[in-house]
Chains A and B, each alone.
Chain A
């Protein structure tokens, strides 16, 4: 296992950043997924959308260049790249539900082997609300869940989510610091593994059933 949480998150971010192709439209969730923007390989231009109403979102503004009218979906000040544009929320979610967004990457409380995701409520404990997550996972062409493999020693990749769902049967890929799984109609397939981990370690820390792909590869990060 990788004990250093920041290192684990960097591994996840770097791996997911390699997934995108030139000029694809991508929506990154708040938290861990936001880190991915810092790791896009050179030569690849990814177009970032934020659901509050911007395409062509750039990095945080330089000191003195902040504009309070330009924010991301987490409320942080951002910038728009020269090709960027702004729009209202109806347009933003039409883009999302209408399959115009290539990838959405978001975190999980739980994710399961059927590709169902729980990410918005722990009844009686924490109720932040779903925000745009339910629309994003239903609408984006590809749904990637980025998650630490375990939380306080407990697996996050389960046979079946116990918490209320964000959506059912929508996840295409799960990336943790140890492994990459593809969700197939037959269940989870382990397709990549961290060079410092092993299939045994992954089995011991995963509740879900999975098959090991014949083409199992080392995670490139």
Chain B
């Protein structure tokens, strides 16, 4: 009744050059690896990727950078992927470094209908350059603006056919936040289950947020 399950080809058709894509995961943990595989195969170019970190050259979304498919990355950490730094120095990749807590709040703002967030993080550092600073009750804050994407790629541990998602262990990280901040949300289901098999109290991403479900191995 939900008809959310898509094929590898259906997913490939969603990817366009120049797209802005959020990808969940923390150093690859919680990243939907098969969805990244499909983007690699398709070879889409000039992508803007929003992610916690650029992972490794051979793991997670870091592979897209190694394959030179990314023109811009908005992230908090690039130190584990030598290609990110190299392409940044060469001038072929634009890197916007954002403090991790600010990055997640900017994404949360976009998904939660907020016009921005005031954070003390970054005050007195390079991060404040070009930003509006506000003093509230004697404390300085930076106004950080919402961050949205056309597409969010989510790594779900257990997903039912309606699109309810449970994340195991530390795979949760940016996934449920990104699932609220994109026009189209695709979850890669590590384990796909029938509706009713997930206890409602345990759902971490409610089904209406998920546009499509991709299940690499039918389980």
Which residues of chain A (147-182) have a CB below 8 Å from chain B? 164-169
Q: Is B27 an interface residue (CB 8 A)?
A: yes
Contact B29 A71 (CB under 8 A): yes
Q: Is the interface of A mostly helix, strand, loop or mixed?
A: loop
Q: How far is the CA of A143 from the CA of B176 in the complex (A)?
A: 30
A90 in contact with B108 given A53-B173, A67-B169, A134-B99 (CB within 8 Å): yes
Q: How far is the CA of A132 from the CA of B102 in the complex (A)?
A: 9
Contact A97 B53 (CB under 8 A): no
Q: Is A5 an interface residue (CB 8 A)?
A: no
Q: Which residues of B contact A13 (CB under 8 A)?
A: none
- Contacting residue for B127 out of A87, A132, A134, CB 8 A: A134
Q: Mark B161-176, 1 if CB is under 8 A from A, else 0.
A: 0000001111111111
Q: Is the interface of B mostly helix, strand, loop or mixed?
A: mixed
Q: Is A64 an interface residue (CB 8 A)?
A: no
Number of interface residues of B (CB under 8 A): 46
| Chain B residue, CB-CB nearest to A75 | B27
Contact B173 A89 (CB under 8 A): yes
Q: Which residues of A contact B132 (CB under 8 A)?
A: none
A93 in contact with B26 given A138-B120, A164-B126, A165-B124 (CB within 8 Å): no
Sort chain A's interface into a size bin. 35 or more
| Chain A residue, CB-CB nearest to B30 | A69
- Contacting residue for A128 out of B78, B100, B169, CB 8 A: B78
Q: Is A63 an interface residue (CB 8 A)?
A: no
Q: Which residues of B contact A169 (CB under 8 A)?
A: 124
Q: How far is the CA of A116 from the CA of B125 in the complex (A)?
A: 10
A168 in contact with B85 given A69-B168, A89-B52 (CB within 8 Å): no
Q: Is B35 an interface residue (CB 8 A)?
A: no
Residues of B within 8 A of A (CB): 26-30, 52-53, 75-80, 85, 88, 95, 97, 99-102, 104-105, 108, 119-127, 157, 167-177, 204
Q: Besides A86-B172, A89-B100, A93-B104, 7 other CB < 8 A contacts?
A: A71-B27, A71-B169, A75-B29, A86-B167, A93-B100, A130-B100, A132-B100
Residues of A within 8 A of B (CB): 50-54, 67-75, 80, 86-90, 92-93, 96-97, 116, 121, 127-135, 138-139, 164-169
